[in-house]
A and B are shown apart, each in its own frame.
Chain A
Amino acid sequence: MKRFALLGLAFVGIFLGCQKSKPTLHVYNWADYLAPQLVARFEKQYQCKIVIDTFDSNEAMYAKLKAGATGYDVLFPSSYMVALLKRENLIQPLDHALIPNLSNIDSTYLNIVYDPKMEYSVPYAVSITGVAYLRNRVPNIRFSWDVFARKDLKGRMTMLDDMRETIGAALKFLGYSLNTRNEQELQKARNVVLEWKRNLAKFENEQYKTGIASEEFFVVHGYSGDIFQIMAENPNVDFFVPEEGTSLAMDEMVITRTSKQVQLAHAFINFLLDPHNAAENIAVINYLCPNRAAYPLLDESLRRHPVLFPPKNVLARCEVIEDLGEDNVKYTKIWDEIKAMQ
């Protein structure tokens, strides 16, 4: 037992001891969401150490910070969470003078996110909900949500088991906003989803990846990051963003209110916005960093990738899913009806 105690003490000692020699930047991010070579380069360039910790959901991360957890400098929350973090005074305004590379940000995306002036947050990476299909099994496809109404694909299609995504898809198909609070529009969307449901194998969030990779499903509604990976593995899989528009999620970079390394945190954000670094990052994480100056530096295959670069006019019809507060109930009610209906 004494040995255990000694081990513990030694460990605490090491832990406390190695903290102060170099400035340390604490980054709180999703796992595998930042190219490791960039971290190493930043550490060398700025004579500092970067410690990366990971979280698995925006909500859990928020709950933790709200309870008073400190020590993190840069966070990577999703766009909708930035509003909440700001309201609760957990993040600080950015000093634009310290981030000259902000000018590289692709303004197409800025108009969609919560904080278009980038007062508190800088867009880091985009993910889009779209449709993946098998080129060899589904000829003459039209790039519309309408594909889920096709009887000939009955039992070979899946949609996400997520009320905001799937009802949102129907709302976009009807030409409404996917953040609507209008009951009539929601009723119409409900009927559309019910019609689609007759053709679906199931509502599914995880297995659809395996399903389409092994060609069990022909058409699936899914997230761009996953579909990118599937396309790399099965060349028959292709991706499109329905022309009516879809939901788009942006992960952002913010600096915590309690950060002790404000200068370094700004330098880090600026570093990631450098076109060369951003291009390298896109190639590793397989998500688009909305950095216009980085696009020409990408490999040909990435520059033409349908997951990374959907058509501009379609992008203009995309929206970010917002938290609707009390009106969420309207969606829950319809979703329950949809799930219950045979």
Chain B
Amino acid sequence: MKRSRFPFYITLGVIVFFYLPIVMLVIHSFNASRFGGRWMGFSLKWYSQLFYHPEIWQSLERTLVIGISATGVSVVLGTLAGLALHFYGHTSLQKVHYVFIYTPLVVPDILMGMSLLLFFVFLGIGLGLFTIFLAHVTFCISYVAFVILSRLQDFDNSLLEAARDLGATSWQATWRVLIPHLMPAIVAGALLAFTLSIDDFVISFFVAGPGATTLPIRIYSMIKHGSPPLINALSTLMLFVTFILIGVTQRLIKEETP
């Protein structure tokens, strides 16, 4: 029987659709033309100009600081929320909790941004990086909690009981049995939270204060007066760093498992 080539073409189509824009972006970051309509020669001018725009680097730094710290906090809180929902999900209190965790996933960004802004103003919290951090934690928790929750679906509770039976304290059972089992979900949740935090624009825009312009806010604003090719160059650099990081991590993982 001849195998159908159809799935192959679909896969190919999807891959092209995913990666062609990125390839175009990388190519255009070396294009001397500002508009990218035609090739005006190889040039590194956008890369060199990047170094004359310290404010782009500042906003990148802010974005990363917020991304890392919001990820850290939301992973802890989100994991705890996921555990609570899983183990005590049948109680009415936890049902309310579930709704609270679920809501940020479905509320439109603009509504969330606006309401958080009104809330911060009402409380008199000065807008700035700290408020962006709080806002990001708020929506990242939900994503982390749901990743954890789905991982817990196939967790066999008797494993914990067996551990306790064999003499482990509840602390040991948690750290030696539960957490290792959850680790892939925790990592996945962290990556998801980090990605969401890094490219969030709408919510960040509203809760950002003076001196807290993050990279997405800056990029959106550059569309009117700035040079988009600068962003191509910056994205290419970020891609490059990401690839290196992935490469290094995979090598480390390989070395650890003999």
Contacts and interface: CB of A to CB of B under 8 A. Distances in A.
Contact of B225 (A7, A213, A225): A225
A68 interface: yes
A31 B221 contact: yes
Given A30-B225, A31-B224, A210-B37, A54 B213 contact: yes
A249 to B, nearest CB: 11
Interface residues of A, number: 42
Interface stretch (B4-12, B202-210, B237-245): B202-210
A8 interface: yes
A32 B114 contact: no
Given A69-B121, A69-B209, A209 B225 contact: no
Nearest to A53: B213
Interface string B35-75: 11110100000000000100100000000010011011101
Contact of B72 (A1, A53, A64, A233): A1
Contact of B34 (A5, A54, A233, A285): A233
Interface string B211-223: 1110001101111
Interface string A1-21: 100110110011001000000
A70 B211 CA distance: 12
Contact of A31 (B117, B133, B212, B222): B222
A30 B220 CA distance: 10
Given A31-B221, A31-B225, A55-B221, A67 B35 contact: no
A264 B221 CA distance: 25
A332 interface: no
B118 interface: yes
A126 B187 CA distance: 50
A190 interface: no
Contact of A26 (B69, B72, B210, B218): B210
Nearest to B219: A31
A317 B104 CA distance: 51
A68 B123 CA distance: 11
B128 interface: yes
A307 interface: no
Given A12-B130, A56-B221, A64-B117, A230 B35 contact: yes
Q: Could you tell me the dominant secondary structure of chain B's interface residues?
A: helix
A285 B212 CA distance: 23
A211 B37 CA distance: 7
Nearest to B117: A67
A238 to B, nearest CB: 17
Given A53-B212, A225-B225, A213 B35 contact: yes
7 contacts: A36-B52, A53-B208, A53-B217, A56-B205, A209-B35, A214-B38, A216-B37
Interface of A: 1, 4-5, 7-8, 11-12, 15, 26, 28, 30-33, 36, 51-56, 60, 63-64, 67-72, 209-211, 213-214, 216, 225, 229-230, 233, 285, 287
Interface of B: 33-38, 40, 52, 55, 65, 68-69, 71-73, 75-76, 114, 117-118, 121-122, 126-130, 133, 205-206, 208-213, 217-218, 220-227
Closest A-B pairs by Cβ, 9 of them: A4-B72, A214-B37, A210-B37, A68-B121, A54-B221, A31-B221, A26-B210, A71-B210, A32-B226
Given A4-B73, A287-B225, 20 more contacts: A4-B71, A4-B72, A7-B65, A8-B72, A8-B133, A11-B129, A12-B130, A30-B225, A31-B221, A56-B205, A60-B205, A63-B206, A64-B117, A64-B205, A67-B206, A70-B127, A71-B128, A72-B210, A213-B34, A225-B225
